[in-house]
A and B are shown apart, each in its own frame.
Chain A
Amino acid sequence: MLCNGRWMLAVTVLAIAGAAGCTGCRKTKVDLFPASGAVAGWEKTGDTRTFAAKDLWQYIDGDAEQYISAGVVSTATSDYKYQGHLEAVADVYTMGDSAGAKKILESGQTKDAKTVQLGDSGVAYAQSVTFRKGPYLVRIVAYESTPDAPQALVALAQGVEAKL
């Protein structure tokens, strides 16, 4: 029994050390992103990288402060490609509460934003989709403007929404 208890303790310590020993960017096992092929035409082209709030500057130096002030807890990001040609990046910001996600979503919107039915609220442009769902704020950005980009981005956003 004692032996089993020690074994359990060792496993727990190792698990915590494994999680804490890697600072900054980390690969995460709880993936918030659809796998390749899960959304028609979309391929996940990179590992999911995760940043704790204190390390967010490593990903978005200069932009991190607005998320931190809105209560970001962690950020996950992954690269995607649509039908082999349209590259995009998807970011999921896990905020402390839904108010933080709302604050970010509502900042910086322009009059040409189109409302989309995603999560609690969402907006789309020709090359990006942003929505919030509970404490999550999701932004998907394409690097090029193509005729199929708006529809493809919304489809990927729906795929992410289903994972939240």
Chain B
Amino acid sequence: MLSSSGAGLTGMLAQHAEMVKSRVVVARDVALRGTGSQPDEKRVLDLLDKAMAAYTRREKPIEAWRRIVPPELLKDKVIGLKVNGLGGKGISTHAVLVLAICERLQQAGVAAGNIVVWERDARSLEVCGLTVNTDSRRVRCFGNDVAGYEDQQVQCGPVRIRLAKLLTRECAMVINLPILKDHDQAGMTFSMKNMYGAADTPYLLHPNNCNPGVANLNCIKAIREKVTLTIGDAMSSVYQGGPMFRPEHLWYPNTLIVGGDRVAVDHTAWQMLDGKRVEAGLPTLEAAGRRPQYIETAADAMHRLGVNDPQRIRLIEV
């Protein structure tokens, strides 16, 4: 009896521990590109649905997306999609993924005009394959060059920056759509680093391998509270020579990495990137002197942005 109760308690504790782990979904489709070089539209939508179903535990896409967007935001608040077009045409967030997310958000009840796809500027959006549009009858798509930055600076560790108005004023919630890349300064750029596009002077956050710049930036209230989900584009990646497009180091993981814990998402992506580097005969990022230390910093007691301990991450591969 005692033994049985003990086992029951142990089981419950184990179940609880499992439940409080950060869920990170790694969804792959090796045939994502079919016979072409670009990801297939239908397969990307299917991959997104598969990832969101695993993340939300809801099989039907509409139900899954209604778990992501809270009811109080669904009706009349603006949902932002922060893409990344810095690396140029060959290595930017894929438009086909953005369009798939826009489709599902609308089916879940978000009005087209309440979706804003944004980046630093028009050029960064265009290289993603997106068209700038400010007409609120359709999904909007424009950059900080149109919306501007706040006049007032905010403290970000030792430096002061201005935040994009798209983040501070326009969007009630932001879904982060970075693309996985090696990064000359940070080691790796993915979820947290993508928020550099919300700052007017991102280069001020680059010293010391972007540490603690990345963690400090993500701690700013508007970013910490509004950016609630990452749907990371790892359909294409550069494993060396980033963050710009380096075709000689291009790689097609054909993967989406989804999670609400930005630190856990970045930790997972880092392991994937390092795995590819080793496979290609390159040193790991740490051995190359570019360990993405900011991930650890983001998880520390001062920042508490998420977890980087593999024991506290529930990795779900689908």
Contacts and interface: CB of A to CB of B under 8 A. Distances in A.
Interface stretch (A10-18, A93-101, A121-129): A121-129
A108 B240 contact: yes
A57 B202 contact: yes
A89 B88 contact: yes
Interface string A42-82: 00000000000000010011111110000000000000000
How would you classify the secondary structure of chain B's contact residues: helix, strand, loop or mixed? loop
B89 interface: yes
B240 A63 contact: no
Interface string A84-127: 00010100000000000000000010101100000000000111
Contacts of B246: 108, 128, 141
B184 A66 contact: yes
Q: Size band of the A side of the interface?
A: 20 to 34
A144 interface: yes
Contact of B184 (A63, A113, A142): A63
B200 to A, nearest CB: 11
A12 B206 CA distance: 38
A87 B240 contact: no
Given A57-B203, A62-B186, A62-B189, A125 B89 contact: no
Interface string B228-268: 00000000000011111111110000000000000000000
A143 B203 CA distance: 26
Given A62-B183, A65-B185, A125-B247, A108 B241 contact: yes
Contact of B243 (A62, A87, A145): A62
Contacts of A64: 203
A112 B247 contact: no
B184 A65 contact: yes
A60 B248 contact: no
Given A65-B185, A65-B206, A60 B247 contact: no
Contacts of A113: 248
B138 to A, nearest CB: 26
Nearest to B121: A58
Interface string B29-55: 000000001000000000000000000
B247 A62 contact: no
B247 A127 contact: yes
A60 B127 CA distance: 14
23 contacts: A60-B244, A61-B202, A61-B203, A61-B243, A62-B186, A62-B196, A63-B184, A63-B242, A63-B243, A63-B244, A66-B184, A89-B89, A113-B248, A125-B247, A127-B247, A127-B248, A141-B90, A141-B245, A142-B247, A143-B89, A143-B90, A143-B247, A145-B37
Interface of A: 57, 60-66, 87, 89, 108, 110, 112-113, 125-128, 141-145
Given A108-B246, A127-B248, A141-B90, 14 more contacts: A61-B202, A62-B86, A63-B243, A89-B89, A108-B241, A110-B240, A110-B249, A125-B247, A127-B247, A128-B248, A143-B88, A143-B90, A143-B247, A144-B37
